[in-house]
Amino acid sequence: HQMIATDGTSTVELVIDTTHTSDYKISYVDPNIPEEKRWLVGDNLSYTKLVLPDKSRLLSTSLADKQLTVSQEQDSLVLGYYRLTQPLKTSQYTFSYTVPTKYVFGEQLTVNTFVQKQLGGWPYELRYSLTLPSNEYRVQAASNVVVKQQTVGNTFTVAYDRIINSDQTLSVIYVKK
């Protein structure tokens, strides 16, 4: 969930859920030993990198300090961690961070979010929402999104769900009512 404050700053609350769907009953043939039946067993251990815009700032995470690596790569802040998921279980990790973008509220406001699918990785479900601090806006146009709008009090939220199977730029253009 991304929240834009009245001063134009933006905070993102990110939740990553990973479900291990194996129940230890998947067999395979090892091409080096074809006469023996092998079984996929054990926990799923994988490395995840979150690549954020340069000058982003991590506010909080559910990971312990020793589980998270923070580095600079080119013009990006990179958060890396190993995620361990047991068979038929779901693991969840949370991150809260600010991004250096400063939105300017005028007659029109454009918000672009770039989402990257890992090369060779499986498609994944993205549930994204964006809250503006004012309900003075309406959606004029959207690209790569199916928009669901909700007004609560003085805030205006746009939410969309997608399966990400390639890199995407999600764009929403707002105009004042």
pLDDT in tens, 163-176: 888 888 888 888 88
CA atoms of 64 and 35, how far apart (whole Å): 44
CA atoms of 41 and 86, how far apart (whole Å): 10
| Alpha carbon distances (Å) from 141 to 21, 144, 161, 170 | 38, 10, 17, 11
Per DSSP (E only), the strands in the chain are: 2-4, 10-19, 26-29, 37-40, 44-53, 57-61, 68-73, 76-85, 90-99, 108-115, 124-132, 137-143, 148-152, 155-164, 168-176
Read off the pTM: 0.78
Residues (pLDDT < 70) of the chain are 24-26, 37-41, 145-147
